């Protein structure tokens, strides 16, 4: 039994069932994200940037109608440490709408918006003076009390386990932990996003909280009874293609399990098409299959990926790229990934993507031909260790 659970409220249950609190839990809105080349026709801005604004505005519109007792944003409100003036101004406008309606809004800083160097300062400080807006970004645990709602807010920070130990249950009210991290615990899968600065926290000692409002993992997930990732409000990679995107409504009543309702938001359609495998097709069939695939998926306004596997090099070079461009033009983004067969080794012509420093280093070591006397595994281990030390020192 954890120290956290030692202050369990003897009154919980009987006395608290007489009232109910409703919170909206959202996370990972990544405002300011932009991708691909398509521009929004109305505003002339990057279409995907506009999509993140739309999702958040839909949420705020809904909240103004339904008036929850509080809104908890579990981090990565912004996509970056230095959002554009436009992104900041957009968020400011939406927070003022909530503030004017008297709806409390609590947000913690996630790994995307927390600067590596404290001196950089946080964009969140701009919102500090808006009534009913509570921004928690100082790399340490803070308690936000909203009447019966006791919010234990833990932003992205270096010593997340140490800061977590400062959470002590309060006796009168609903105790809610607000966290941005990959959570760990007995019997839980890993909720990693594969980002180099993500934090990991064990939630086994938080089981006495009335609710854990989690952010960072982009799929809306019931982690445990009363512990949920709200998920992101838009799809930010093809890994999220099958996710429903939205936010959670949580009804706290003092019962052992809260009622949690998922509310979907309208988001851009993202499609990962069934790959075309070229091994048993001739040149004409390959070209026909690619064309048919594009037309049948009706790419207009969608973000689409099509993988073309084992395509012979000479067929690739004879593709009519102008025609493919014309067929896919109505999409917000249409990505065709070709994987070739050459010298019995397949390699890919996807646009180069830069992964985390760890991943890049591991791949580099894997590919690199070194003298037989050098132990690759040992080299990898040492390299990863140095990268970690460097990252720590740099903070
Ligand atoms: Mn995150």
DSSP 96-123: HHHHHTT--EEEE--TTTS-SSGGG--G
Q: How far apart are CA 214 and CA 207, in angstroms?
A: 14
Please give the distance, rounded to the nearest whole angstrom, from the Cα atom of residue 261 to the centre of ligand 1.
22
Q: How far is CA 295 from the centre of its chain?
A: 31
| Percent of the chain whose predicted confidence (pLDDT) is above 90 | 75
Please give the distance, rounded to the nearest whole angstrom, from the Cα atom of residue 354 to the centre of ligand 1.
17
Q: How far apart are CA 346 and CA 316, in angstroms?
A: 14
Q: Is pLDDT above 80 for 322? A: yes
Confidence of residue 13 (pLDDT cuts 50, 70, 90): very low
Nearest 5 degrees, angle CA 83-CA 116-CA 357?
A: 100
Q: How far apart are CA 297 and CA 330, in angstroms?
A: 12
Q: Is pLDDT above 50 for 33? A: yes
pLDDT digits (tens, 9 = 90+) for 342-363: 655 555 655 555 666 777 777 7
Q: Is pLDDT above 90 for 392? A: no
Q: What was the pLDDT predicted at 16?
A: 46
Q: Is pLDDT above 80 for 14? A: no
pLDDT digits (tens, 9 = 90+) for 232-262: 999 999 999 999 999 999 999 988 899 999 9
Contact 71, 95 (CB under 8 A): no
Q: Is pLDDT above 50 for 9? A: no
3-state DSSP assignment of residue 284: helix
Please give the distance, rounded to the nearest whole angstrom, from the Cα atom of residue 194 to the centre of ligand 1.
10
Residue range 98-107: mean pLDDT, rounded: 98
Domain 3-264 sits in which CATH superfamily?
Answer: Metallo-dependent phosphatases (3.60.21.10)
112, 134, 216, 218: the catalytic one is 112
pLDDT digits (tens, 9 = 90+) for 112-159: 999 888 888 899 999 999 999 999 999 999 999 999 999 999 999 999
What is the number of other CB atoms lying within 10 angstroms of the CB of residue 383?
Answer: 16
What is the number of other CB atoms lying within 10 angstroms of the CB of residue 153?
Answer: 27
Q: What was the pLDDT predicted at 349?
A: 58
Q: What was the pLDDT predicted at 7?
A: 43
Please give the distance, rounded to the nearest whole angstrom, from the Cα atom of residue 132 to the centre of ligand 1.
24
Q: Is pLDDT above 80 for 11? A: no
Q: How far apart are CA 294 and CA 328, in angstroms?
A: 7
Q: How far apart are CA 363 and CA 207, in angstroms?
A: 39
3-state DSSP assignment of residue 1: coil
Q: Is pLDDT above 50 for 301? A: yes
Q: Is pLDDT above 50 for 2? A: no
Q: How far apart are CA 152 and CA 349, in angstroms?
A: 47
Please give the distance, rounded to the nearest whole angstrom, from the Cα atom of residue 370 to the centre of ligand 1.
36
How is 208-237 classified by DSSP, letter by letter?
TSSEEEEESSSS-EEEETTEEE---SS--S
Q: What CA–CA distances, in Å, run from 262 to 171, 181, 204, 219, 293?
A: 29, 21, 24, 12, 33
Residue range 174-185: mean pLDDT, rounded: 96
Please give the distance, rounded to the nearest whole angstrom, from the Cα atom of residue 128 to the centre of ligand 1.
21
Q: Is pLDDT above 70 for 86? A: yes
Q: What was the pLDDT predicted at 17?
A: 42
Contact 215, 73 (CB under 8 A): yes
Q: Which helix (H) or strand (E) holds 124?
A: none
Please give the distance, rounded to the nearest whole angstrom, from the Cα atom of residue 114 to the centre of ligand 1.
10
In terms of Cβ atoms closer than 10 Å to its own Cβ (0-12, 13-18, 19+), residue 353 is: exposed
Whether 112 is catalytic is yes
Please give the distance, rounded to the nearest whole angstrom, from the Cα atom of residue 332 to the centre of ligand 1.
25
- Mean per-residue pLDDT over the chain, rounded: 89
Compare 38 and 363 and report the one with higher pLDDT: 38
Q: How far apart are CA 277 and CA 308, in angstroms?
A: 6
Q: How far apart are CA 103 and CA 63, in angstroms?
A: 8
What is the number of other CB atoms lying within 10 angstroms of the CB of residue 252?
Answer: 24
Contact 182, 103 (CB under 8 A): no
Least confident of 23-32, 212-221, 380-389: 380-389
Q: What was the pLDDT predicted at 373?
A: 66
3-state DSSP assignment of residue 340: strand
Q: How far is CA 172 from the centre of its chain?
A: 33
Please give the structure tokens belonging to residue 248. Answer: 């959670």
Q: How far apart are CA 202 and CA 6, in angstroms?
A: 18
Please give the distance, rounded to the nearest whole angstrom, from the Cα atom of residue 241 to the centre of ligand 1.
18
Q: What was the pLDDT predicted at 364?
A: 76
pTM: 0.83
Q: What was the pLDDT predicted at 91?
A: 98
Please give the distance, rounded to the nearest whole angstrom, from the Cα atom of residue 130 to the centre of ligand 1.
24
Q: How far apart are CA 199 and CA 136, in angstroms?
A: 16
Please give the distance, rounded to the nearest whole angstrom, from the Cα atom of residue 213 to the centre of ligand 1.
14
Contact 184, 190 (CB under 8 A): yes
Please give the distance, rounded to the nearest whole angstrom, from the Cα atom of residue 109 to the centre of ligand 1.
9
Confidence of residue 389 (pLDDT cuts 50, 70, 90): confident
């Amino acid at each position: 039994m954890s120290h956290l659970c030692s202050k369990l409220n003897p009154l919980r249950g009987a006395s608290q069932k007489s009232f109910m609190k409703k919170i909206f839990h959202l996370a990972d809105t990544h405002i300011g994200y932009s991708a691909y080349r398509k521009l929004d026709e109305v505003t002339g801005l990057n279409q995907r940037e506009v999509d993140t604004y739309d999702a958040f505005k839909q949420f705020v519109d809904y909240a103004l109608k339904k008036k929850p007792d509080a809104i908890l944003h579990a981090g990565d409100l912004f996509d970056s440490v230095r959002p554009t003036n436009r992104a900041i101004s957009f968020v400011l406008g939406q927070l003022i709408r909530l503030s004017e309606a008297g709806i409390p809004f609590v947000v913690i800083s996630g790994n995307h918006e927390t600067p590596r160097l404290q001196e950089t300062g946080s964009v969140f400080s701009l919102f500090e003076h808006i009534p009913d807006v509570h921004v928690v970004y100082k790399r340490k645990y803070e308690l936000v009390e909203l009447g019966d709602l006791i919010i234990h807010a833990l932003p992205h920070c270096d010593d997340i386990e140490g800061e977590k130990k400062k959470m002590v249950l309060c006796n009168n009210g609903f105790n809610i932990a607000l966290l941005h991290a990959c959570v760990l615990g007995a019997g839980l899968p890993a909720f990693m996003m594969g980002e180099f600065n993500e934090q990991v926290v064990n939630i086994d000692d938080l089981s006495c909280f009335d609710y854990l409002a989690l952010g960072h993992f982009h799929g809306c997930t019931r982690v445990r009874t009363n512990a949920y990732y709200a998920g992101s409000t838009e799809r930010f990679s093809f890994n999220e293609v099958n996710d429903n995107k939205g936010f959670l409504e949580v009804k706290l009543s003092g019962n052992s399990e809260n009622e949690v309702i998922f509310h979907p938001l309208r988001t851009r359609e993202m499609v990962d098409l069934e790959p075309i495998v070229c091994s048993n097709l001739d040149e004409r069939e390959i070209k026909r299959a690619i064309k048919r695939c594009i037309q049948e998926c009706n790419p207009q306004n969608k973000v689409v990926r099509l993988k073309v596997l084992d395509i012979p090099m000479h067929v690739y070079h004879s593709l009519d790229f102008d025609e493919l461009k014309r067929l896919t033009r109505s999409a917000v983004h249409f990505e065709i990934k070709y994987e070739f067969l050459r010298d019995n080794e397949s390699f890919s012509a996807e646009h180069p993507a830069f992964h985390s420093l760890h991943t890049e280093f591991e791949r580099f070591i894997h590919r690199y031909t070194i003298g037989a006397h050098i132990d690759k595994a040992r080299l990898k281990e040492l390299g990863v260790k140095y990268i970690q030390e460097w990252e720590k020192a740099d903070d």
